[in-house]
Amino acid sequence: MNNRRGCRFGATIIGIWLTVLGLLFSGAALAVSKTTTADHSKFKELQKTFASGPEVTKACLACHTEAAKQVHRTKHWTWEFLNPDSSQRLGKKNVINNFCISVASNYAFCTACHVGYGWKDDNFDFKSEANVDCLVCHDTTGKYRKLPGLAGHPAYKEMELPPGSGKIVKPVDLTQVAQKIGKTSRDTCGGCHFFSGGGDGVKHGDLDSSLTVPDHELDVHMDAAGLDFTCGTCHLTSAHDIPGSRYVPTAKDTEGRHLRGKVSKGNPATCVACHSDRPHSLKEARLNDHARKVACQTCHIPTIARGGVATKMIWDWSTSGKMDEKGKPIVKKDEKGHVIYDSKKGDFVLGENVEPEYQWFNGKVRFTLITDKVDKSAGVTPINRFDGSPDDGKSLIWPVKVFRGKQPFDPVNNTLVKPHTAGQDTTAYWTNFGWDKAITVGMASAKAPYSGKYDFIETEMRWPITHMVAPKDKALACIECHRADGRLKNIAGIYMPGRDSHGWLDLLGGGAAFFALLGVIGHGSLRIFSNRKGGK
């Protein structure tokens, strides 16, 4: 008996110890990060005070020896891209848009979104590995911020920005950020892509800060409580090169689903890469037939800017420069607090829950560059053109955001212009409100001719819509397109029941249906009559 009690006591003690050890082990397991294999705070190279971003980069490169070389080969570094289809030299460095127009002469301001340090003019050293900014993509603290006007640098000391504004910016703790680096995230990618064009949600319409922590209704893939995709989940990066380009987008993915272990040259960021080109079940085979002509995004992104952040739809630079009675710049806001007029930029029209426009698109894009002629009398000038046709076998019907604007151009040389807008110098438009000085400096920076005359011209720019994917029960219903005034009312080259009508085809179809019904009634009547007769 005593022995049994002793055994039970011993077993109890062992059980308690096992429980304690289990809890300790469990606690240790929970303490281990599941998102990275390295705790950078333990690295001696990072246990120091850093005075600048390039100093941090040098420390990073002590281990990640090839990282900067890889970054140097990407569009995120060069801001330049040679389109193999059109031979146009594109990239942020070369193109013109109808938002902030151009980066030429505005580098110190615009390069707040460059993955480097120090790009303020044409003398930037693109070969310097120390100039690569590792922190902007790998920060996990949310405290790293590059400021407009500092040529891609964060604040290294307390400073008033903009000068004279009374707004004090605190310096970034580079050591803390460096010791907490990790994978890219929606926050790091969104730091630039959510705020491109001058503010939150301005440019794309399907990318804004509401995607930082989105719910299921806003994006089924990025749903923070569900699949929780980051940008990198789809834009699967290789050697720092990120797939998915607005210069050569994949309009129709013919590579099929990407399988692990299968070598593929396709774009991993397309819908087909995961869902295949027959994404619906057998019960929904008719929808799969639609996928031959209609991009997934057309049905599954019913509206853009639906996360509570408005997107700009119109920007009129020609009305800028108005002052109040004291000669001071004006800012006007609507009832929701959106800026609808700014003396520096002109009038804006914003929108939420905006229905996209639709067009055939085969992935080929051609831009109007500074060397191309424009004609004001010919109507609206396209900043970019999307090619596509119902007959080329390469196009699908895509949703696009069409951004409309009015911007300065040279009416003598008949070219768009690149004005110098940002900065504290006396030639910057946002400082002196003089277009002639601003255009003269901007065009000189772009090494392009300027006649000394300027006017304003209407422009349009197109952006393919591919984010903010709604749940399937919120996708477009059939009636949204299959009616006379439906969303695809302007799409040519296909016959759409409910939208289109041809006299002979309608007559033939109606006749076939009538005779089929007549046959069914006749057959049924004969069967009933035969049964009754047989029964007698």
pLDDT reported for residue 519? 85
Residue 318 has pLDDT above 60, yes or no: yes
Residue 509 has pLDDT above 70, yes or no: yes
Q: Distance (Å, rounded) from C-alpha 357 to C-alpha 398?
A: 8
Mean pLDDT of the chain: 92
Query: Per-residue confidence at 107, pLDDT binned at 50, 70, 90?
Result: very high
Share of the chain above pLDDT 90, in %: 81
Are the C-beta atoms of 223 and 216 separated by less than 8 Å? yes
Burial class (CB within 10 angstroms; exposed 0-12, middle 13-18, buried 19+) of 446: buried
Q: What is the 3-state secondary structure (H, E, C) of 163-215?
A: CCCCCEECCCCHHHHHHCCCCCCHHHHHHHHCCCCCCCCCCCCCCCHHHCCCC
Exposure string for 395-430, b = 16+ CB within 10 A, e = fewer: bbbbbbbebbbbbbbbeebebbbbbbbbbeeebbbb
Q: For residues 248 and 36, which has the higher predicted lDDT (pLDDT)?
A: 248
pLDDT reported for residue 21? 46
Q: What is the mean pLDDT of residues 254-267?
A: 88
- Residue 277 structure tokens: 């080109």
- Residue 94 structure tokens: 């070369």
Residue 11 has pLDDT above 50, yes or no: no
pLDDT reported for residue 35? 72
pLDDT digits (tens, 9 = 90+) for 232-252: 999 999 999 999 989 999 999
pLDDT digits (tens, 9 = 90+) for 203-221: 999 999 999 999 999 999 9
pLDDT reported for residue 23? 44
pLDDT digits (tens, 9 = 90+) for 382-412: 999 999 999 999 999 999 999 999 999 999 9
The pTM of this model reads 0.87
Query: Per-residue confidence at 505, pLDDT binned at 50, 70, 90?
Result: confident
pLDDT reported for residue 534? 61
Residue 378 has pLDDT above 60, yes or no: yes
pLDDT digits (tens, 9 = 90+) for 134-193: 999 999 999 999 999 999 999 999 999 888 888 999 999 999 999 999 999 999 999 999
What CA–CA distances, in Å, run from 65 to 42, 61, 130? 19, 5, 11
Query: Per-residue confidence at 463, pLDDT binned at 50, 70, 90?
Result: very high
Are the C-beta atoms of 178 and 54 separated by less than 8 Å? no
Q: What is the mean pLDDT of residues 64-72?
A: 98
Residue 12 has pLDDT above 70, yes or no: no
Contacts of 409 (CB under 8 A, 6+ apart): 374, 376, 381, 415, 416, 417, 454, 455, 456, 457
Q: What is the mean pLDDT of residues 279-307?
A: 95
Contacts of 59 (CB under 8 A, 6+ apart): 45, 46, 48, 50, 178
Residue 26 has pLDDT above 50, yes or no: no
Q: Are strands 396-410 and 415-416 parallel, antiparallel or unpaired?
A: antiparallel
Helix (H) or strand (E) holding 452, with range, is: none
**398 three-state secondary structure:** strand
280: closest CA among 263, 265, 296? 296
pLDDT digits (tens, 9 = 90+) for 94-104: 999 999 999 99
Q: How far is CA 73 from the centre of its chain?
A: 21
Ranking 8-12, 132-136, 310-314, 333-337 by mean pLDDT, the lowest is 8-12
pLDDT reported for residue 154? 97
Q: For residues 27 and 478, which has the higher predicted lDDT (pLDDT)?
A: 478
pLDDT reported for residue 175? 98
pLDDT reported for residue 530? 81
Q: What is the mean pLDDT of residues 524-536?
A: 74
Burial class (CB within 10 angstroms; exposed 0-12, middle 13-18, buried 19+) of 338: middle
- Residue 188 structure tokens: 């790091």
Q: Distance (Å, rounded) from C-alpha 174 to C-alpha 49?
A: 8
Query: Per-residue confidence at 30, pLDDT binned at 50, 70, 90?
Result: low
pLDDT reported for residue 529? 81
Q: Distance (Å, rounded) from C-alpha 237 to C-alpha 480?
A: 37
pLDDT reported for residue 482? 96
pLDDT reported for residue 504? 72
- Residue 184 structure tokens: 């890219």
pLDDT reported for residue 469? 98
Q: What is the mean pLDDT of residues 367-374?
A: 98
Residue 24 has pLDDT above 50, yes or no: no
**478 three-state secondary structure:** helix
